[in-house]
Amino acid sequence: MSVSLTREEAPIYAALKALVQNYATSRSLVDITQACWDIIGDAREEFLFRVNLIDSLIDKNTDYEDIREVLFDLLLVKFLSAENKPEEFFDSEEWDQIEAKTLDRGTELLNLFLYLSEAKEEEVEITLDDFLNEFLLVDEDEFQDEMRIYESFIKNENILEADLISIRTVQNKIAADNPIKELFVGLVLFFQEAEGFTPEPNMELSAFELSIYNSMLAFFEQ
């Protein structure tokens, strides 16, 4: 089915398609890309209503549970970057309600997708250093939560030159409660690709790692 997309929607749809289809192929699942886009792409409906629809869809397709929160990320990116909200909206009661009800939702991929959107808009070269220091501001005192979360990237300066075994060695040392742990391999591989490092051939990735890695690449390449 062909999908009519705006310039802002195109990378979000590409990321969604890569996320779902790579996960489905690796797990022999029915493809729910269109069902997801029917929700994410429908700007006529209120945001929290669409969150509930995504949750209902995954509740009915429980084999996709692992990517539920990444679907939330893509929905929020669509809402923030492609629906032309006026600046005053973010001082509104509606936005306060959205923030309060979704405080514990999503993953750190939201930051990556928002960074890519901003970098593309400003025609900035996409690099791990720029993401950490110019977007997340990890070296500034008031952003120490980000410093803690992304410490594994900061302390391992040569991580983009590492092979998959070395990347997993670093990942295994990340605290279990750090939200970057399960995303670490995919994020490193993405920045390796974005910065022009030659990816290792025939990498053995989990279904989740494969889907998020290809989702990030699809967003980047649009």
Q: Are 208 and 23 in contact (CB under 8 A)?
A: yes
pLDDT at 201: 79
Rounded-to-10 torsion of CA 173, 27, 108, 88? -170
Q: How confident is the model at residue 219 (pLDDT cuts 50, 70, 90)?
A: very high
Classify residue 38 by burial, with Cβ atoms within 10 Å: 0-12, 13-18, 19+.
middle
* Residue 62 in this model has a pLDDT that exceeds 60: yes
pLDDT tens-digit map of 127-175 = 999 999 999 999 887 788 999 999 999 999 899 999 999 999 999 999 9
- For 11, the token pair is 């990378």
Q: How confident is the model at residue 1 (pLDDT cuts 50, 70, 90)?
A: low
Region of residue 209 (left: phi > 0; alpha: psi -120 to 50; beta: else): alpha
Taking the domains of the chain in order of start, what are their residue ranges? 9-101, 109-221
Identify the CA nearest to 43 among candidates 6, 88, 1, 90.
6
* Residue 4 in this model has a pLDDT that exceeds 90: no
| CA 141 and chain centroid, separation | 25
